[in-house]
Structure formats: structure tokens, C-alpha cells
């Protein structure tokens, strides 16, 4: 049964892969949450106060405080660490030190290198332009697909090394983050990953899990209104 007014509120937009990452962690743990829309490019003053880096998401835990800075946490990685402590089962951060280190690295790598290549390099030039009524920046997106993304995917393919999960023997924060950020590309472009077979298999398995598919479906509904069919960037 879902709460009418859940304790956890994610400020942001489902179009953000980092918002979907936090939503995915909540879904994996069976924790109720709500996404409260905030336009990060024109934020209300109260949001600026709780988001020092002027980014989404920011989490509010209403069980701590209903307003002000208390009970809020910026940054998806900090938020996911908080949710893990508050709702430990199922664990999404491996217990084994080596696996934990790898999971945290892959999370960071996906949040930065993959998000720059796929989000800033591909999603933004297409979707931001279309949203403004401009022609999609396909040249920039094709350049990112051909040149910026492959070294990042090579690294992921090598570290995954044909396994089902990036770290340990169960879904972790690493798998959730990679899937959410990769799906940012899927919002606007076809995703032929045959050159990275291990990653392709991982992505295919992850994208059908409710923790990935449910937040993505909300984002896709919004994006498809402006962009009915993803582009072929090859
Ligand atoms: N490391 C941050 C990244 C958050 C981030 O970059 N969010 C984007 C939206 S996807 C944002 O707020 N962008 C605002 C901007 O670029 O001004 C996290 O994991 O939360």
C-alpha cells in the first residue's frame, strides 16, 4: 500500500537521470516517495537555499522537517547513501570492501564521465533544442555518440567483464546509476550497443526492472510529446 503523503520527497524532474536514480533506489527498497517538480533552470528561492550547487535532485525527508534546510540533502549520491542507512534492506551498497569501492567508483564514473558524454553530449543538444522549438543538434549528438561515448562504454565493458553486476553478486548502486544515465540517451536516440556485448546484456536486463522502467516511463511520456521517435545517431 502506498502512502498518500510519503516522507521522502525528491525535488526535481523525472527527465533528470539523477532524479530517476534516487527514485530507483526508493523503488528497489519498497520505500514510498514523491517527485515534486522544480525547474532547475528557473528555480524558486526556497530551492536555491537547499541546493548549493544549483542542481537537482534534492531530497526532503518530511519526517525530519517540513520546510527549511533541515531534513534536506542535495546530490543524488549523498541522497542514496542516506536512503541506504535509513532503509538498509535490500542493501544497494555492497558489504565487501572491494566491491563497495568498485560500486562507488562506477557510480561516480556514471554520474560524471557517462553523464557528460551521454547527457550533455547527446540528450541536451537534441531535447533542449526541440523544447525551445529549434532544430535538434544532431551534429553535436552524432559527434558525442561516435567519439565521446565509446571510451566511456569501453571502460564500463571492461570493468563489468561479462558479469551480471558491476560490483558484488547483486544489483547495487553501480548498476542502477549506469542504467539510469544510459537511459538518458535512450530518451532521444536509438541505443545499438552490440560493440559492448557485456554492457548490452546488462542494460537489457536492467531496463526492464521496475526500479529503472517505472521512473523512465514517466520521463518518456514527457519527452515523447516533443520527440515522438528517437533519432538514429549512427
Ligand atoms: N552530481 C549531481 C549532478 C546533478 C545534476 O547535474 N543535475 C542536473 C539535471 S540532470 C542539473 O541540475 N543541472 C542544472 C544545470 O546544469 O544548471 C547529482 O548526482 O545529483
- Residue 94: name the closest of 206, 180, 171, 9 by CA: 171
In a domain, 150, yes or no: yes
Task: Tell me: do 73 and 103 sit in the same domain.
Answer: no
Task: Tell me: do 150 and 221 sit in the same domain.
Answer: yes
Which CA distances in Å does 45 have to 8, 51, 68, 76?
21, 10, 11, 21
- Could you tell me the distance, in angstroms and rounded to a whole number, from the CA of residue 162 to the centre of ligand 1? 30
- Closest residue (by CA) to atom 12 of ligand 1? 55
In a domain, 190, yes or no: yes
- Closest residue (by CA) to atom 2 of ligand 1? 75
How far, in Å, CA of 180 to CA of 182, rounded? 6
Q: Which of 55, 117, 216, 223 to mutate to test the pocket of ligand 1 (most atoms within 8 A of CB)?
A: 55
Task: Tell me: do 125 and 193 sit in the same domain.
Answer: yes
- Closest residue (by CA) to atom 16 of ligand 1? 55
In a domain, 233, yes or no: no
Structural domain total, the chain: 2
- Could you tell me the distance, in angstroms and rounded to a whole number, from the CA of residue 56 to the centre of ligand 1? 5
- Could you tell me the distance, in angstroms and rounded to a whole number, from the CA of residue 75 to the centre of ligand 1? 8
> Residue 106 is part of which domain span?
97-226
Which ligand 1 atom sits nearest the alpha carbon of residue 112? 1
- Closest residue (by CA) to atom 5 of ligand 1? 55
Task: Tell me: do 102 and 80 sit in the same domain.
Answer: no
In a domain, 234, yes or no: no
CB 182 within 8 A of CB 118: yes
Task: Tell me: do 108 and 132 sit in the same domain.
Answer: yes
> How much is the pLDDT for 44?
95
Task: Tell me: do 110 and 184 sit in the same domain.
Answer: yes
> How much is the pLDDT for 203?
98
Q: Which residues of the chain have pLDDT under 50?
A: 1
- Could you tell me the distance, in angstroms and rounded to a whole number, from the CA of residue 59 to the centre of ligand 1? 13
Task: Tell me: do 106 and 18 sit in the same domain.
Answer: no
- Could you tell me the distance, in angstroms and rounded to a whole number, from the CA of residue 1 to the centre of ligand 1? 31
**Last residue of one domain, picked from the residues 49, 65, 86:** 86
> How much is the pLDDT for 2?
65
In a domain, 114, yes or no: yes
**Last residue of one domain, picked from the residues 53, 86, 119:** 86
- Could you tell me the distance, in angstroms and rounded to a whole number, from the CA of residue 204 to the centre of ligand 1? 25
CATH of the domain at 165: 1.20.1050.10
How far, in Å, CA of 197 to CA of 194, rounded? 5
Burial of 138 (C-beta count, 10 Å sphere; 0-12/13-18/19+): middle
Task: Tell me: do 139 and 75 sit in the same domain.
Answer: no
**Last residue of one domain, picked from the residues 30, 59, 86:** 86
In a domain, 181, yes or no: yes
Q: Tell me whether the omega of the peptide bond preceding residue 90 falls within 30 degrees of 0, making it cis.
A: yes
Task: Tell me: do 101 and 75 sit in the same domain.
Answer: no
Task: Tell me: do 72 and 184 sit in the same domain.
Answer: no
Packing angle between helix 149-160 and helix 197-207, nearest 10 degrees?
80
- Could you tell me the distance, in angstroms and rounded to a whole number, from the CA of residue 108 to the centre of ligand 1? 13
Task: Tell me: do 194 and 151 sit in the same domain.
Answer: yes
**Which residues contact ligand 1 via a Cβ below 6 A?**
16-18, 40, 54-57, 75-77, 111
Which ligand 1 atom sits nearest the alpha carbon of residue 77? 19
In a domain, 118, yes or no: yes
Task: Tell me: do 119 and 197 sit in the same domain.
Answer: yes
> How much is the pLDDT for 4?
79
Amino acid at each position: 500500500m502506498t502512502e498518500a503523503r510519503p516522507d521522502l520527497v525528491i525535488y526535481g524532474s523525472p527527465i533528470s537521470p539523477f532524479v530517476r536514480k534516487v527514485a530507483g533506489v526508493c523503488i528497489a527498497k519498497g520505500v514510498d516517495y514523491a517527485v515534486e517538480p522544480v525547474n532547475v533552470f528557473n528555480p524558486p528561492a526556497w530551492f536555491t537555499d537547499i541546493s548549493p550547487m544549483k542542481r537537482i535532485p534534492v531530497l526532503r525527508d518530511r519526517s525530519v522537517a517540513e520546510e527549511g534546510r533541515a531534513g534536506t540533502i542535495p546530490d543524488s549520491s549523498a541522497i542514496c547513501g542516506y536512503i541506504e542507512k535509513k532503509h538498509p534492506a535490500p542493501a544497494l551498497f555492497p558489504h565487501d570492501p572491494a566491491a563497495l569501492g568498485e560500486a562507488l567508483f562506477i557510480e561516480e564514473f556514471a554520474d560524471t564521465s557517462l553523464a557528460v558524454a551521454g547527457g550533455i553530449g547527446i540528450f541536451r543538444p537534441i531535447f533542449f533544442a526541440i523544447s525551445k522549438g529549434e532544430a535538434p543538434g544532431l551534429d553535436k549528438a552524432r559527434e558525442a555518440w561516435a567519439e565521446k561515448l565509446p571510451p566511456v562504454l569501453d571502460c564500463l565493458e571492461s570493468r563489468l567483464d561479462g558479469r551480471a553486476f558491476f560490483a558484488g553478486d547483486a544489483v547495487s548502486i553501480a548498476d542502477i546509476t549506469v542504467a539510469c544515465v544510459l537511459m538518458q540517451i535512450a530518451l532521444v536516440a536509438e541505443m545499438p550497443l552490440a560493440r559492448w556485448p557485456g554492457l548490452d546484456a546488462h542494460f537489457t536486463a536492467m531496463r526492464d526492472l521496475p526500479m529503472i522502467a517505472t521512473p523512465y516511463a514517466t520521463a518518456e511520456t514527457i519527452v515523447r510529446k516533443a520527440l515522438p521517435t528517437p533519432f538514429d545517431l549512427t
